Amino acid sequence: MESGQELGKPVLISISRLRPADSPRLSGEDPEHIRILTEAGSDAPPILVHRETMRVIDGMHRLRAAMARGDEEIIARFFEGDADTAFVLAVQANINHGLPLSFADRAAAARRIMISHPNWSDRAIAKTAGISPKSVSKVRARVLGEPSQVVERVGADGRERPPNSSPEGRLRAAELLAKSPDASLREIAKAAAISVSTVNDVRKRLDRGEDPVLPSQRGAGERTRSAPAMPNPCRAKRLEALPKSGVTMLHELKRDPSLRFSEPGRHLLRTLHETFASATKWPELIGTVPDHQAHVVAELAEHFADQWREFADRIRSNASSGVQED
């Protein structure tokens, strides 16, 4: 992690060469804190400066106090590195000592760090910004969406590991397995941003006709997927008792030779898959609808829903009568 970066030895530099900090403090410096440091004298730790930009990383209050005393020089240590890492160091420095950062400062810092370091885990960002992993997770959901589209995340210990398996990751893997049954587990894992072992588990669950999402990951309203306990039930009856998810049904349709080996069947599979895939993107699509067009888009969605209901009714009617439509 960046906290282990080597810093230069303390040197005396001209204050006129320095630029204001890219500070994590949303409201800037605190005048009262500057006054206290000014009266305390010049016996303070060296400030930290980004060599490339000459911006102050840590120590703006000390710098302002030195300027208020009329000092022309100040003791500083230089950091050699990029600007994103310099900001991380600024946050860490302000968390560890000096005037405390507000929660708003820390949340804003976490937001910026997750954008510049999208592969960092919630725990790693929380440790850096001084807030809880749960708070970081909420910020991540607002800023990047959930789950974050990365294959591995760097933890607080600096080690890379796949992110925790999520329902969304398992559903993406199930979709990809249905769409590309010949793809390797590693390819699916990379595309779905989950571990290879999780993809393998998803494939086995689909092959058994089970929901790819674990029961423990389902919301309280969805836990009825589990069949009630029955004495010595056969496997087929157990599966019949389980409501199937859309992903599971698509996977089963994909394996049907009567659909796979005919052009109309493949067209139907593609249409169903594209419709299902678009539904998983509704949260981000909803956010793109301007207020003045909301009623138009809503009416179109209802119109499409009516068309699909008519489609479903005609399929059931044809199946009951044994008639095949042209």
| 8 and 59 belong to one structural domain | yes
Does this model's pTM top 0.85? My answer is: no
| 147 and 6 belong to one structural domain | yes
- Dihedral of CA 170/174/180/183: which sign? positive
| 11 and 155 belong to one structural domain | yes
Count: domains in the chain: 2
Measured distance between the N- and C-terminal CA atoms of the chain, rounded to whole angstroms: 63
- Domain assignment of residue 320, yes or no: no
| 130 and 241 belong to one structural domain | no
Is-contact 101 95, C-beta < 8 A?
Answer: yes
Please give the chain's pLDDT, 326 residues, in tens: 444 456 788 999 999 999 988 888 888 888 998 999 898 877 788 999 999 899 999 989 999 999 999 999 999 999 998 888 899 999 988 887 767 788 888 888 898 888 888 778 888 889 889 888 888 888 877 766 554 444 445 555 555 555 545 677 888 888 888 877 778 888 888 777 777 778 888 888 888 777 888 776 665 334 333 333 333 333 344 334 334 556 667 777 777 778 877 888 888 888 887 777 666 667 677 778 888 888 888 888 888 888 888 888 888 887 766 555 55
Query: Which CATH number is 125's domain given?
Result: 3.90.1530.10
| 101 and 197 belong to one structural domain | no
| 35 and 121 belong to one structural domain | yes
In angstroms, rounded to a whole number, what is the distance separating the alpha carbons of residues 59 and 48?
A: 6
| 154 and 190 belong to one structural domain | no
Domain's final residue, options 101, 133, 159: 159
Q: Closest Cα partner for 48 from 25, 74, 79?
A: 79
Domain membership of residue 235 as a residue range:
167-262
